[in-house]
Structure 1
C-alpha cells in the first residue's frame, strides 16, 4: 500500500512539473447563431421594440397612434415630436388666446441622432408652439394646431386648439418613470403605453424623419437604438468569426440613435426592389451589458412583400 501511495505522489510531481505556463485567455465567440425577423408591414405602420437579449419583440404599436413623447429621466425633461408621422413645429411668442397663421418657412423637425437634445420644442425658449401634425396612415395631412406645454407636478398640462381658436382643450400627461418615455396624442386626447420599461429592449424598428443631403427632411425606414444605455459600433465588412470579446471591447462605440439607421439597405431602381448592403454588420453593447453581433440578411417576407427585416444575432 505504501509503495502504491508513493507511486501516486511521484506521478503527481511529474505531471505538475510538466504543466505548461498559463497563457492569456482569448475569449472567442460562443458560435451560437440565431436568425429572426420582424414584420413592420408594407407601409411600415408597425413600430417594434426588440430585445437582442431575449431575441424577441417585447412591444409594438402603430406609428400613427401618438403625436408627442414626454421624456423624463433624472433631471432631464423634454418633449419630442412623433417623427414617424413627419411632424414639424416652431415656437410662438404670443399668448395662447391669440390667433395665428401657420408659416411654412418656419417649420423644423427634430433630429433623431441625439435623443436628449436637438428638439424643436425647447421649453426654456417657449411654452407655446405651432405644430404641423404630420401625415395620417392614408397619407393625408392632419392639419395644424397651436400647443402649449405647462409643467405641473409629475408631468405636463397640454393645451391645444386650432391656430385661430380662442379657447382650447386640455390633456394631463404624467411622467412614465419605468419606461422613461410617455407617448400621448392630442388628436385622440389620451396617453398611450407604447414603450416598454427601459431595460427590456435594445433596438426599435420604425419609420422616422431624417435630414438628408440638401437639408431636406425625409421619411426613412430603419433601426434606432434604445437611448437609455445601448451603444453600437459599425463593423461592416468584418465577419463574426473574425471578432472576439477582447477585440469588440476596443471598438469605437456611439450612442447616436440612428447609428444603425436605414442605409444597411438601398433601393435598386433597376429592379424596383431593396437590396442589402454587402457585409453590413454591427456590434451592440446591449442593455444587459453584453456584446452581440447583428447583421441584416433580408427585407422581404415569403410573399415578396417589403417591410420584414430579417437578421442574424450572435452573442460573444
Structure 2
C-alpha cells in the first residue's frame, strides 16, 4: 500500500554515492540528502485501523506497529514517567493506600471511599459516584463516555490529550520506594477483525482485562512489578532507559518489552489511528475515542502549526489571506507559531466524517501544516485522502515538501 513519489533525491543520491571526498576519513558515512517531496500512504490498515504508523519526513521512512502490541511506555529522559497506550484505550488508577502489589485484588477495600463522577448517558448529566473497593472501581475504569473521574479534584485515569509528561495518569516514579503506589490498569480494548459498514469504522473490540502494577526506579532503570489483578504473586522486570528513544514500551499481556517507537530523531508524525483521553466533550467531561488520528513528536522536539487558507462564516467561504499550500515558501514561516507542547494539533481535525456535524466523509481542504523536525528541517504537509478508492476508512494519505 505504501507509495513514495520522491522528486530529485534519486539524482542527488547518485551524486553522493558515486563521488568520493579526499577529506573523508576511513569509514565516514556519506551525508544522506533530505527528501524534497513525497506522497505517503500511511498504512493504518483499513476500517479496523490496527496499526500505528511512525513517519520520518526527512527520509520518508515509515515504521508500523500493531496498536495492541503494548500498554505502557517508560520515558527515557530526565523525568521518571510512565505513559499509557491511548490507541487501545489503556487507563490506570492509583490505589493511594497500597504499596504491596500482592495484597491487592478485586476484593480489596479502601479505607476511605473515593468520591468520583460519571456521565449519565440517559440524562447527559454528571452524577456523583462513591467507590468503596477495587471491584466497584473496575466498573468505571475502562475508557468510555461514562468512565469515572473527578475533574474538580484533578482525578483522571488517562494521560492528558496534549501528551505532556506532567499530565500522565501514573504519577512521576519516585526514587523513594515507599512513595510508589500500586495501580490498577485497564488494558484497553482488542482490535476487532469484523469489517465495518462502508464509510464507517470498527476499531474497539472486547475488553483486554485488568492488571495491577507498581513501578520503582533508581533514576536510570525502572523496575516494573506486574500481574493480572487477581493473581496471588507478581512478575518483576527491569527496563533500562535509552537516551536514543523517547520511550521503551512494555506489554503486560505478553509479559515482554516491545520495540515500538523508532529512534526519537527518526520520526516526526505518528499516525496513531485511534486516540483516547478523558476530557471536555460537547460541554461535559467524558472518556472519548477518535479514529484517523495524527500526532507529532513533541517529546523529540518536533514543532508544528496549522495554516488556514479559508474559513466558513454564516455559510459563506471567507479567505484568510494566507498563501495556498503550493504558494507557501520558507520565507512565510512564523517561527513563534510552532507548537512543541501539544502533540494533538493535527488530531482528527484534518478530516470530516458524516454525522457529528459533518455532511460527508472528506479531507478538509481549508488547512495544511508546517513542521520543523529535530534537525531544523522545515516541511509543509497537507492531507489528501483518508478513504480507499472503494470508500473504506483507514487509508490516510498526505503529501509534503521540504522548505528550503
TM-score bin (small chain)? 0.7 to 0.9
* CA deviation vs aligned residue, 1:144-198 (integer Å, no higher than 9, x gap): 1211112247422211223344321222222232112101012101001111111
Aligned to 2:160: 111
Structure 1 residues 117 and 153: alpha-carbon distance in aligned structure 2, compared to 1, 3 A threshold: closer
Aligned to 1:252: 337
Aligned to 2:305: 233
Give distance in 2, aligned partners of 1:162 and 1:35: 44
* CA deviation vs aligned residue, 1:105-136 (integer Å, no higher than 9, x gap): 35611113133220010035643111111111
Give distance in 2, aligned partners of 1:152 and 1:271: 50
Q: Does the CA-based 8 Å contact 1:91-1:126 persist in structure 2?
A: no
Aligned to 1:130: 184
Aligned to 1:86: 89
Shift, 1:91, TM fit: 0.8
RMSD: 2.2
Aligned to 1:171: 237
Give distance in 2, aligned partners of 1:183 and 1:272: 39
Shift, 1:273, TM fit: 5.3
* CA deviation vs aligned residue, 1:184-240 (integer Å, no higher than 9, x gap): 012101001111111111110012113341222222131111121110111021412
Aligned to 2:397: 310
Deviates more, 1:125-134 or 1:113-122: 125-134
Structure 1 residues 216 and 165: alpha-carbon distance in aligned structure 2, compared to 1, 3 A threshold: same
Q: Does the CA-based 8 Å contact 2:180-2:216 persist in structure 1?
A: no
Bigger Rg over Cα:
1
Structure 1 residues 33 and 200: alpha-carbon distance in aligned structure 2, compared to 1, 3 A threshold: closer
Q: Does the CA-based 8 Å contact 1:135-1:141 persist in structure 2?
A: yes
Deviates more, 1:197-206 or 1:137-146: 137-146
Shift, 1:241, TM fit: 4.0
Structure 2: state its 5+ residue gaps.
1-35, 109-133, 141-147, 150-155, 193-204, 310-321
Aligned to 1:145: 211
Q: Secondary structure at the match of 2:265?
A: helix
Give the one of 340, 351, 356 matched to 1:265.
351
Structure 1: state its 5+ residue gaps.
1-31
1:281 aligns with 2:368: yes
| TM-score normalised to structure 1 length | 0.83
Runs of 4+ in 1 over 4 A off after TM superposition: 270-273
